[in-house]
Amino acid sequence: MALESFSLMPEKSTPSWNCMIGGLGRHGRAHEALSQFRQMVRAGSRPNNVTFVSLLHGCSHGGLVDEGLKQFRDMREVYGIEPGIKHYGCIIDLMARNGRLNEAVEVIREMEIKPDSVVWGALLGACMVHGNVGLGEAMGAQMMKNLPWHDGCYVMLSDVYASNGQWDGVLGVRRMMADFGVRKEPGWSLVVNVAQRDHHKEWQCKISEGDKVREGMNTTESLNVL
């Protein structure tokens, strides 16, 4: 439906192309996203930084490593767009998801801007998936050095240890969190009454060490839910 409506548009602006490319990429249709990108260029619309975030995100979720790396290079060399933190986050995620962890590390080392929690998190998450504890430890240490109060650093490193059955490592990370006074942010959920959209109910769930809900707390106005 969206593609059909888009094809009927008499004039397509760069933002409209971006919406189509992004939508296809988010729904796992990376090849179609790339096809739309090529049509965009042929039509004379100039890609911008948002275009490449959408394109790289699609390549990452579609597993198109070589194509994603090509578009990342072309972004700068062909279109003169300097990569920002979101572009780096996408390209690190692209390589990490596909097991190219050492290459991802090299990209981080060569970045001209400071990596953020998303970049480090993509690499740490991949270390857990691919069972690379050594690299996970090194990246976790680097992440904690740069973001010492970010609870996600510790949680992800703990997950790397746990996924490989290294429970001493898990306990060590939890001790570090206690020593530095770092606490895991509680999760939360939002339920909206469709009939009365102005009223909603929020629960804040505090998670115990055994990953079981320990406490549910109603933080706003009560709501009747069927």
**Tokens at 126, concatenated:** 């991949």
Contact 84, 75 (CB under 8 A): no
Domains of the chain: 2-184 (1.25.40.10), 186-226 (no CATH)
Whole-prediction pTM value?
0.71
Q: Each residue of 74-90: pLDDT tens digit?
A: 999 999 999 999 999 99
> What gap in Å lies between CA 13 and CA 19, rounded to an integer?
10
Q: Which of 75, 145, 63 is nearest to 100 (CA)?
A: 63
> What gap in Å lies between CA 147 and CA 73, rounded to an integer?
29
Q: Each residue of 133-173: pLDDT tens digit?
A: 888 888 777 777 777 777 777 887 888 888 778 888 888 88
pLDDT at 193: 52
pLDDT at 45: 92
pLDDT at 200: 45
**Tokens at 76, concatenated:** 């700068």
Own/partner contacts of 109-114, CB < 8 Å, gap of 24 or more, are 113/84, 113/85, 113/88, 114/146
Least confident among 32-46, 61-75, 88-102, 131-145: 131-145
For residue 204, pLDDT beyond 50: no
Average per-residue pLDDT in the chain? 79
Helix ranges (DSSP H) in the chain: 2-7, 14-26, 30-42, 49-62, 65-77, 85-97, 101-110, 117-130, 133-146, 151-163, 167-180
| Better-predicted residue by pLDDT, 141 or 219 | 141
